[in-house]
Amino acid sequence: METSYILIKTIHGKLKIVSSKLKTYEEAEEVHEIYGRYDIIAKIVVESRDELKKFIQNKILILEGISSTESLVVFDDE
């Protein structure tokens, strides 16, 4: 299993829409709206790094309302 945290900046007024959509994805084990440089942090768990790449490309980056993301990949997942 591969775990990563995706930090997401949203376009003004789109936070709730993006957050709600992320919560519908089974890969997203946790989704939190946060204060600071980013608006959302999502814990993503998938089978492989290839699946992570596909998830980010096909489910995250296509969401309307996201202005930028940063991915933090966990390497010591036990």
pLDDT, averaged per 10 consecutive residues of the chain (78 residues), comes to 96 97 98 97 96 95 96 83
Q: How crowded is the C-beta side of 24, counted as CA atoms within 13 Å?
A: 9
Which pLDDT does position 78 carry in this prediction? 62
User: What structural domains does the chain harbor?
Assistant: 2-73 (3.30.70.920)
Q: Which phi and psi (to 5°) does residue 33 adopt?
A: -85, 130
The candidate with the shortest Cα–Cα distance to 56, out of 24, 17, 28, 15, is 28
* pTM for the model: 0.91
Of 28, 57, 33, the residue nearest 45 (C-alpha): 28
| Cβ atoms of residues 13 and 67 within 8 Å | no
What is the distance between the alpha carbons of residues 13 and 30, in angstroms, rounded to a whole number?
21
